[in-house]
Structure 1
């Protein structure tokens, strides 16, 4: 075999190579290193064709092994072929299976499998493979291998991959063109290379190895370019950068926060090194929910003629079928990357999976998912920006306009409405194709807002120290629109002032949306503020983007009950102890969490229910110093509850515990809360309740725990408080 390949090289060097792009300097350097007798590491990454499927034995007679042997004994082969995977799955395994091996040369093959990948994904995922290889700490030479099925069709994925190779100046081997040229010259036949349409046979693997070898040896014949000690910067991406920033949940990290009917297990991918079981079920009513992250969330799941279908959605998005029942995969287990949510806000999300009720209901067949794969976990500098720093075309509408409905504790300033507390909300209805918002940052860091137009969420960042207008980039349709502007960053971190609303030149403000029938007001600490609820790894306060008060348990509870939400919450605060210089009794009634902030005037509309959840920091701060909770915590807790009752004499009052570990670790907290309830009831106050959350987290709760807390609280309020 080696002799036949070498004869093929001699033939290749005497003629032009169809489908071969100009070799890049990095590849030239690798081939010159090999020619000089030095060792190199060759890595191949692709699907089943790269594994050597249909050649016997595959790992010895597949094209990758044949190529490595033909290059000589100084070549170490790392074959990262995994059957049934495409470039979207490949970016998830690239680091551990390829980059960690420190390759000198990488051949990338996904022309066949990417043909079955979602067309909206394949450009971004394949481009990300190339970019991650080229920006590695020790970037290898990269060769793009474009394989098609028998007959050189279809070519959608291959043509895209070859165009990306040209965009990045990489050597590319268009095997379809190479082979078609041989067919047209009478030197070969397609039928010789394939026993079925998809996978080449042993002869087909020989031809692929020959085509790639020709390209590599041709690189040594081209004049070397000038040495470049610093690689040139990459060109701008053609398909975005979402798949450069990925995260995979599998094995022990794939843990549902809520599930029924699923069990740990199911078939694992036999070729994926270190792969662990996922979740499997035969129950018709099985469902599970997971915490996931990113702007694109997909499920990697099994498919064959003996599986059944699942369906999934992200947050409250549409249900998407995860096609596990694939009749054409008879006796052959396959795997598929199915996108469930795309163009999402690049932060934390909830993924819900359930067995699909279809013709396979009651069959007892298994349904299985192996991993959740996310893309688009952008670093701060690359996050998409939905707003342009410029005004809309219409006249300014003052914040005091009666057609603007304000919800929350809103401060009044000469410049406009002070929005300090997270959850502060503007509601309005308008017509016109443009939306502009005037805002100024007055204290702290960047303020983040959720801007919801007709139910579609956008994120607006008002950087620290900035003031101006922001116009929604997305043009709106004709007709009426409904707006919600909600501050998501907690008040102790950032404050902002709303200065104006601007619409299109022909737009107009309409009558406001109707008032909500119920009003809930929450007092609490970082748990209630939603601190760290979208953080991917450890708790952090450097980047406030993932800290979203609109997805904390209180805001979720209000939304589910159709209620107004007022959130008076500060990270690190307590009644007797604090991580900074504020105690809740000092700022609870102010328009901002500052001692010099004005006391809020009496509420125009008093809350129907006031909820208090404090105590975590009364325990946590002294415990961090090896000290106990203040001995007068119970007395001061009751005193603060009396202050709340004094401001809201007719409200239902609910004293909460939990969300984090303090009530479990410090018995004084549940004791104080219980005593406060008993004392008020003994005085004739029959509108006070106690509730202790079962859901909790040792670190700050993420949105999955907030979801569970909201589930509990909604049930309790409906069953006990609002009946």
Structure 2
């Protein structure tokens, strides 16, 4: 008697009525070549690795002992003694959590067969997520360096209900031509034929008992055997085929997990390392826990979807979270139904975000459990949609020219309001040169369409935020050529507002806006009113926002993550409702530079080039001019083992005098910090203080200095920039603008 015959006999002895085999439901009509190859290896006695990934039913819950008598273990034994089982079942988890553990717990084992089971747990998952996350599991398995055979196991609760998640999973299996077992249908056919009873398989509605696990293993073996080739049959080697287009998008193929040592301490108070870990998650480390009513924390996260994996039981309390300035979402930790054991939940905080850096804020929820002293516990932050450049979604499509009949509006039209330093684009008819990050176009128009035409002789790609009626969109405009970008979806009829803001700093990319195109019959309206306050910032990479969205180390290969509109200066202007002018160049200083030019050579030009045109004094002139330089005056010579220039202080003062000469009525604020130089080089703060003292002694009382507390050893990310903006906003409100 072989293992398969033994399993079938064991199942039949549990019921008084014989149990003939039911047809495997949803089996792939044509043989699966990877399963055929698997059977050939099994029949030849070769070693095979089988992996199972799912929830508590996959772990063997309710079988005794679970890991030895669950359906996964029974399936492995039935396939043969040479089978190594990798059981990646984790109780209480769904497919959204599984994509984060798939590599380490499944793919690293190089399995030959993977059985995927999330039909019972995915109904608890956000319906907007479950299709994408389950599909990502399948796609990542099929795109592995050594793609395994994949079988989808569609389990339901007792009585074959509910089926919402299972039906989606089975449809995805068919979409990818994968073998699948609809266990509910398989079992119901046995029940309808009088050969089995649902009640025999369950002692409670969710988890199958020992009999249920045997039935699942039996049905899976039948499904696999449907693809078993005859002995000595010629089987074509498995070949990679073209991957079908995704049905639910690709966000969960590109994930990032913050947990344990990869999850740094938060900015805030009241949270400490600790809390329970998932007992079935290998290598997992404690997250962050809090008991204080005023506990709050902030973390830097990346991606288009942000979710928190948190503990829930009768003993925990609730948190709430939001991403950036989005709505607060409850993290339900207080769940009375979970008595005597811990549960875990994947709660989506925000989705549909731009796939870049964001701020996750978590705080204790003020509810009926306030003052109870009970803990709240976070286990991980799970983000999805950190797309590679070629897959980043954009609302624009590139065309050769505007649509026929479109109304063309030149970039120098008087109904367009420009904010920042914008000069004429040489060699164009009415084009405007967009170099400095933070440069902004504001307009009002009518019509159902919008297009933007650009030209560039620079090598770099310029990244823009295009905000239409308050909804931010992302656009990348490549250098070295002309391009037209048309909004894909039509706008509603009527009036619209537009903000076009350059994110990329001028030394990395510059381009010219040639024109806007509107729908036939559309027209520009009077521009939005000017903001009452105007701030102008002069600085280096800190002010430019270099690397502020980078995921890991500082990098300059993908400037999508460098966003001047989320640097501290632009954020300060936003908080104060002010117009922002940003004149900033990475690597630049007063006495030293990582490149060719010093700030005194480019600060008054239309672009950070020695051959760029001199810019006229802005009209209206800025109310406050802020200067933040010195990091590179120290950092560049220090990188070569040299001292900072001995004449930094007088040259710094001379540049401040140039600013004062250009802006005689402005308030001057001399800033210091954001990175490490002021901590490492005492001459920097001394020079700033000396400049303020000198000017005030000469009667210039409209000058101040401020040193940031927030800083980073590498380039500050958006979380540090946000804290810098908070500091600076308070200082301006209380000391400068009062």
TM-score range, shorter chain: over 0.9
**Residue of structure 2 equivalent to 1:90:** 98
Distance 1:76 1:226, change over 3 A: closer
Is 1:21 paired with 2:28?
A: yes
Distance (Å, rounded) in 2 between the aligned partners of 1:508 and 1:669: 52
Is the contact made by 1:309 and 1:367 (CA closer than 8 Å) also made in structure 2?
Answer: yes
| 1:565 is the counterpart of 2:580 | yes
Deviates more, 1:99-108 or 1:412-421: 412-421
1:147 counterpart = 2:155: yes
Q: Distance in 1 between matches of 2:235 and 2:57?
A: 36
* Paired residues of 2:39 and 2:229 also in contact (CA < 8 A): no
| More deviation, 607-616/381-390 | 381-390
Q: Deviations over 1:430-463 (max 9, x none)?
A: 2222222222223231111101112211011111
293-302 or 66-75: bigger deviation: 66-75
For residues 689 and 156 of structure 1, what CA distance do their matches in structure 2 show? 63
**Residue 420 of structure 2: which of 408, 411, 431 is its match?**
408
> Is the 1:304–1:332 Cα contact (8 Å) retained in structure 2?
yes
The answer for the alignment partner of 2:662 in structure 1 is 647
Contact 1:259 1:287 in 2 (8 A): yes
Could you tell me how far apart the structure 2 residues matched to 1:572 and 1:18 are? 64
1:175 equivalent in alignment to 2:183: yes
Corresponding residue to 2:549 among 512, 518, 534: 534
Task: State the shift of 1:18 in Å.
Answer: 3.3
Distance 2:279 2:22 in 1: 42
Aligned equivalent of 2:123: 115
Question: In 2, distance between residues paired with 1:705 and 1:222?
Answer: 64
Number of aligned pairs? 723
Is the 2:537–2:583 Cα contact (8 Å) retained in structure 1?
A: yes
**Alignment-derived partner of residue 430 in structure 1:** 445
Residues 1:198 and 2:206 aligned together: yes
Matched with 2:330 is 321
Does residue 439 (structure 1) correspond to residue 441 (structure 2)? The answer is no
Contact between 1:441 and 1:447, CA under 8 Å: does it hold in 2? no
| Alignment partner of 1:660 out of 648, 672, 675 | 675
463, 471, 486: which one pairs with 1:471? 486
Q: Alpha carbons of 1:478 and 1:357: their partners in 2 closer, same or farther (altered >3 Å)?
A: farther
Report if aligned partners of 1:40, 1:76 keep a CA contact under 8 Å in 2: yes
1:379 to 382, 388, 404: 388
Match of 2:223 in 1: 215
> 1:575 maps to which residue?
590
Bigger drift between 522-531 and 661-670 goes to 661-670
Equivalent position SS for 2:590: coil
The one-character-per-residue Cα deviations of 1:461-488 (angstroms, maximum 9, x if unpaired) are 1111232321222332233222111000
Residues 545, 13 of structure 1: alpha-carbon distance in 2 compared, 3 angstrom cutoff = farther
For residues 562 and 209 of structure 1, what CA distance do their matches in structure 2 show?
Answer: 64
Q: Are residues 1:334 and 2:336 paired? A: no
Give yes or no for the alignment of 1:250 onto 2:259.
yes
CA distance in 1, matches of 2:536, 2:615: 14
Partner of 1:699: 714
CA–CA separation in structure 2 for the residues paired with 1:40 and 1:528: 56
Would the alpha carbon gap of residues 696 and 690 (structure 1) be closer, same or farther in structure 2, given more than 3 Å must change? same
1:697 & 1:12 partners in 2: Cα distance? Answer: 68
Number of the residue aligned with 2:300:
291
| Of 454, 457, 461, the match for 2:476 | 461
1:5 equivalent in structure 2: 7
Asked if the contact 1:346–1:383 (Cα under 8 Å) also holds between the matched residues in 2, the reply is: yes
Partner of 1:281: 290
Q: Deviations over 1:394-445 (max 9, x none)?
A: 3111222222111000012343111110001011122222222222223231
Q: Helix, strand or coil for the counterpart of 1:108?
A: strand
Shift of 1:14: 7.3
Q: Which runs of 4+ in 1 moved over 4 A?
A: 8-15, 222-226
| Structure 1 residue aligned with 2:648 | 633
Distance 2:341 2:493 in 1: 52
Q: What are structure 1's unaligned runs of at least 5 residues?
A: none
How has the CA–CA distance of structure 1 residues 157 and 222 changed in structure 2, closer, same or farther, with 3 Å as cutoff?
farther
- Partners of 1:19 and 1:178 within 8 A in 2: no
Return the alpha-carbon distance in structure 1 between the equivalents of residues 265 and 306 of structure 2.
15
Q: Contact 1:13–1:218 (CA<8 Å) still a contact in 2?
A: no
| Cα offset, 1:690, TM superposition | 1.1
Distance in 2 (CA, whole Å) between partners of 1:13 and 1:669 is 85
Q: Among 604, 611, 619, which residue is 2:634 paired with? A: 619
- Offset at residue 6 of structure 1 (A): 4.6
Contact 1:9 1:213 survives alignment (8 Å): no
SS at structure 2 position matched to 1:498:
strand
Q: Which runs of 5+ in 2 are unaligned?
A: 13-17
Give me the whole-angstrom Cα distance separating, in 1, the residues matched to 2:134 and 2:540: 44
By how many angstroms is 1:274 displaced? 1.3
- Asked whether the equivalents of residues 19 and 195 of structure 2 are also in contact (C-alpha less than 8 Å), the reply is no
Range that drifts further, 254-263 or 556-565: 254-263
- TM-score calculated relative to the size of structure 1: 0.97
Q: Which residue of 2 aligns with 1:518?
A: 533
1:257–1:265 Cα change, 3 Å: closer
Cα displacement (A) at 1:329: 2.0
- Whole-angstrom CA distance in 2 between matches of 1:12 and 1:96: 39
Tell me, in whole angstroms, the C-alpha distance in 2 between the residues paired with 1:175 and 1:225.
31
Equivalence for 2:364 = 355
Distance apart, 1:222 and its partner CA = 6.3
1:649-700 deviation digits (Å, cap 9, x = unpaired): 1111111111111111122211211111111112111111111111111111
User: 1:237 aligns to what?
Assistant: 246
State the 1:3 CA deviation.
5.9
| Aligned-pair CA distance for 1:190 | 0.3
Name the CA distance, whole Å, in 1 between partners of 2:301 and 2:375: 24
Q: State yes or no: 1:55 paired with 2:63.
A: yes
Q: Does 1:99 align with 2:114?
A: no
Q: Secondary structure at the match of 1:83?
A: coil
Deviation at 1:7, TM superposition (A): 3.8
Q: Is contact 1:6–1:70 with CA below 8 Å preserved after alignment?
A: no
CA distance in 1, matches of 2:599, 2:692: 19
Structure 1 residues 223-232 or 169-178, which shifts more? Answer: 223-232
Once residues 2 and 103 of structure 1 are traced to their aligned partners in structure 2, the CA distance between those partners, rounded to angstroms, is 21
The structural deviation recorded for 1:717 is: 0.9
Which SS does the other structure have where 1:443 is aligned? coil
Bigger mean CA offset, 283-292 vs 474-483: 474-483
User: 1:224-274 deviations in whole A, cap 9, x for unaligned?
Assistant: 675246422212211111111000111233235422222222221111111
Which whole-Å CA distance do the structure 2 matches of 1:181 and 1:225 have between them? 34
- Structure-2 separation of matches of 1:618 and 1:226: 68
CA distance in 2, matches of 1:262, 1:627: 42
